Amino acid sequence: MKKLLLLSTALFFAIAAFAQEPKGVFYSISFPNAVHHEAEIVMTIPQSPAKEFKVRMSRSSAGRYATHEFGKNIYNVKATDVSGVTIPLKQVEGDVYEIDTDHPETVVISYTLFGNWVDGTYTGIDASHAHLNMPATFMWSPDLVKRSVKIEFNDLDKYGWKVATQLKHEGANIYSAPDLQYMMDSPTELSNFKETSWNVVNADGKTEKINLTVHSVDDQPVIDGFGKMIQKIVLEEKAVFGELPAYDYGEYTFVSDISTTDSGDGMEHRNSTCITLPVEKVQSYETRLLGVFAHEYFHSWNVKRIRPKSLEPFNFEHANMSSELWFAEGFTQYYGEMLLVRSGFRSIDEYTHTLSGLVNSVLNTPAAAKYSAAQMSRYSVFADAGVSIDPNNNSNVFTSYYYYGGATALALDLRLRSEFNLTLDDYMRTVWLNRGKVMKPYTIPDLQSDLAKLTKNPKFAADFFAKYINGIEKNNYTDLLAKAGLILQKEKPGKAWAGSLASSGVRGRSGQALTPEADGLAILYSTVIGTPLYKAGLDAGDVILKADGKSIKDVAAFNDVVNSKNVGDKIVINYKNSSGEHETTVTLEEDPRLEIITYEKAGKTLTKDQEDFRKNWLSSKVQ
Ligand SMILES: [Zn+2]
């Protein structure tokens, strides 16, 4: 519980007091117009650089890998001296402003911020809360990134809000960060959230306090119960690494917001995570929500401390590109899901669906056939909630590093277990001790060298990285899964298939859906290389009028035609596009999608070895 003593001091006095402090940057944020999603922000720079200098909004956000334009949401930007007298301020780029050489020692910048999007990147303000991601909220000066930061959150009593954040509480409504990087990594939720906390005794005997704050319509007992579930996951993750990280100020906070108007997201930070999920409340959705919490908490080791060099430090003017997200995100994806089984929240049959998704993404997508996991990681600068209005060809050139990397983690885990009598937990612990705990940012060769040391087999490590990380070869999932008594097989053997008309797209571009046109079925996304539809020359922009002589108005009607046929049958398609009406022939193939099922489900008996293998892999590791 945090008890807040609210400052009623006028802003002027706060600024005046802060101006005495050397070499800091002071922000004050208030919400006089929260119902219209606005905040008023004042940034005070004492002892400002004795030259012309710039202040700006960010173009990227901690943990989000694509570039964003936060500058579009600020206006009424003004510079004054401490007494409020306007000084010249020149807008030199859309989101960059310049203060000329002739300025007072203390410069005060003020602006209005609009924010109406609740996720792990943007800012959402209304009368119920101010959900603040810092790069989307605060201007900063490239000349002052090393300075300490203080933020005053105002209007808390007016709205009945409390403060959930990893920022250091300085007393009253003032919070601080040692520098700009830390401040930008510290999202803050101001709301009347509910909270539950517990202590975990760490391997060194010190206590780490874990807080769960939830802004939702749930009652306190629901949050307490949900906290108990997350507690189990925290311990299961601790068992993987052997210890919790030593959190700054001894605390880690799950800052979560649950509302149907949220955008579904989870964003990791050094001592916190920002989780926003679009459901009506926590109650009765608990087990559905847990996966995001498990994933984001795993990041407090893997990516926030086991840190790729490519992301260190964050560039807030242009998103960092990283070749390591197959590990930072993909291995985290694997553990986030697998640990739900170890902690008892998923059955083995539920887990086989997750595994099927991983294996299909690596064995059954055109991009994974052509591009390496490292290369797909670099595409994140366009794919991670990337926003643009023209279509992309992602269904053919991008396989998510979450699933590609997750499938690679699965293969490595099963190979370490079956070939070395080691586990992926051993590997994660090695990387933690060599890189994360000592905060030495890594490169891909560092990860390979850690695998070589763990296995005492440099040849295996070199081979694994050359083939499956930097290359496009695939592990033998059929044989590896069989060790745990799991069968990899065609999901619909012998079923005719033309390819999928609705591509899943990527996060942030989900607004589009297949809409029937008046006289046919419009293809809205690129068709996928290798599918019968693609081979027949059909693509986005075509409108299917008839299939096999039948009028087609929607996807269901098209699927009915395909389902009535056999593998090898030909379907004549009549379609139109900007060059007129056309006819083509689709030759149906066998549906290539794979599924994983247990031996038990297939009516086969597990051997003792398979039973032991599965148990060692998926049973709880909490002592
Ligand atoms: Zn992640």
* Ligand 1: centre distance to CA 401 (Å): 10
The CATH architecture to which 301-488+599-623 belongs is Orthogonal Bundle (1.10)
The answer to whether the CB of 430 falls within 8 A of the CB of 454 is: yes
Give the C-alpha separation, 315 to 318, whole Å.
6
Positive or negative, the Cα torsion across 53, 58, 61, 65? negative
* Ligand 1: centre distance to CA 104 (Å): 44
* Ligand 1: centre distance to CA 268 (Å): 7
195-211 mean pLDDT: 97
- pLDDT tier for residue 519 given thresholds of 50, 70 and 90: confident
* Ligand 1: centre distance to CA 270 (Å): 13
Query: Quick one: pLDDT at residue 87?
Result: 97
- pLDDT tier for residue 6 given thresholds of 50, 70 and 90: very low
Query: Quick one: pLDDT at residue 15?
Result: 53
In one-letter notation, the amino acid at residue 120 is G
Query: Quick one: pLDDT at residue 40?
Result: 98
**3-state SS assignment for residue 582:** strand
The answer to whether the CB of 332 falls within 8 A of the CB of 403 is: no
* Ligand 1: centre distance to CA 592 (Å): 29
Q: Which residue has the tokens 């004549």?
A: 572
| Mean pLDDT over the full length of the chain | 93
Nearest-Å Rg of the Cα atoms of the chain is 27
Query: Quick one: pLDDT at residue 524?
Result: 83
* Ligand 1: centre distance to CA 115 (Å): 24
Query: Quick one: pLDDT at residue 309?
Result: 97
* Ligand 1: centre distance to CA 330 (Å): 8
417-444 mean pLDDT: 98
* Ligand 1: centre distance to CA 357 (Å): 17
Give the C-alpha separation, 112 to 127, whole Å.
17
Could you list the beta-strand ranges (E) of 511-579.
Answer: 516-517, 520-522, 543-547, 550-551, 570-577
* Ligand 1: centre distance to CA 121 (Å): 13
List CB contacts of 291: < 8 A, sequence separation 6 or more: 336, 337, 340
* Ligand 1: centre distance to CA 448 (Å): 21
Give the C-alpha separation, 575 to 622, whole Å.
59
**3-state SS assignment for residue 177:** strand
What is the Cα 148 distance to its own chain's centre?
27
- State the fold for domain 23-189: Immunoglobulin-like (2.60.40)
* Ligand 1: centre distance to CA 404 (Å): 13
* Ligand 1: centre distance to CA 364 (Å): 23
Q: Where are the domains of the chain?
A: 23-189, 193-299, 301-488+599-623, 496-590
List CB contacts of 146: < 8 A, sequence separation 6 or more: 179, 180
* Ligand 1: centre distance to CA 162 (Å): 27
Tell me the pLDDT tens digit for each residue of 289-325.
Answer: 999 999 999 999 999 999 999 998 999 999 899 999 9
Q: Reply yes or no on whether the pLDDT at 394 is more than 60.
A: yes
| Joined tokens for residue 587 | 């030759």
The superfamily in CATH containing domain 193-299 is: Neutral Protease Domain 2 (1.10.390.10)
Query: Quick one: pLDDT at residue 505?
Result: 33
Give the C-alpha separation, 520 to 250, whole Å.
61
* Ligand 1: centre distance to CA 298 (Å): 8
Q: Reply yes or no on whether the pLDDT at 375 is more than 60.
A: yes
Determine if residue 182 is left, alpha or beta; phi over 0 gives left, psi from -120 to 50 gives alpha, anything else beta. alpha
**3-state SS assignment for residue 121:** coil
- pLDDT tier for residue 21 given thresholds of 50, 70 and 90: low
Q: Interior CA angle at 374 toward 372 and 379, to 5°?
A: 95
* Ligand 1: centre distance to CA 292 (Å): 9
- pLDDT tier for residue 23 given thresholds of 50, 70 and 90: confident
Q: Reply yes or no on whether the pLDDT at 57 is more than 90.
A: yes
pLDDT > 70 in the chain, percent: 94
Give me the DSSP letters along 498-509.
Answer: ---SS----TT-
593-602 mean pLDDT: 97
DSSP conformation class of 293: H
- The neighbouring-strand residues paired with 207 are 201
The superfamily in CATH containing domain 496-590 is: PDZ domain (2.30.42.10)
* Ligand 1: centre distance to CA 302 (Å): 9
* Ligand 1: centre distance to CA 616 (Å): 26
**193-299 and 496-590 agree in CATH topology:** no
User: What is the value of pTM for the model shown?
Assistant: 0.93
| Joined tokens for residue 568 | 């090898």
Tell me the pLDDT tens digit for each residue of 103-153.
Answer: 999 999 999 999 999 999 999 999 999 999 999 999 999 999 999 999 999
